[in-house]
């Protein structure tokens, strides 16, 4: 499990993940409403 902060990217947000995760399924959970 990773805990990251979403960074601004244009008009949306972005999270950088490990390169080994490319092509894998991930689930993103918002922990702060």
Residue-by-residue pLDDT tens, the chain, 33 positions: 999 999 999 999 999 999 999 999 999 999 988
- What SS3 class is residue 21? helix
Global pTM value: 0.61
| Domain spans in the chain, listed from the N-terminal domain onward | 1-33
Say what the pLDDT of residue 21 is: 97
Say what the pLDDT of residue 33 is: 81
Say what the pLDDT of residue 28 is: 94
Letter string b/e over residues 5-30, b meaning 16 or more CB atoms within 10 A of that residue's CB? eeeeeeeeeeeeeeeeeeeeeeeeee
Strand partners, 7: 14
Residues 6 or more apart whose Cβ sits within 8 Å of residue 15? 4, 6, 7, 28
DSSP classification of residue 24: S
């Amino acid at each position: 499990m990773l805990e990251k902060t979403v960074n601004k990217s244009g008009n949306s947000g972005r999270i950088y993940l490990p390169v080994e995760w490319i092509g894998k399924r991930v689930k993103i959970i918002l922990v702060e409403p």
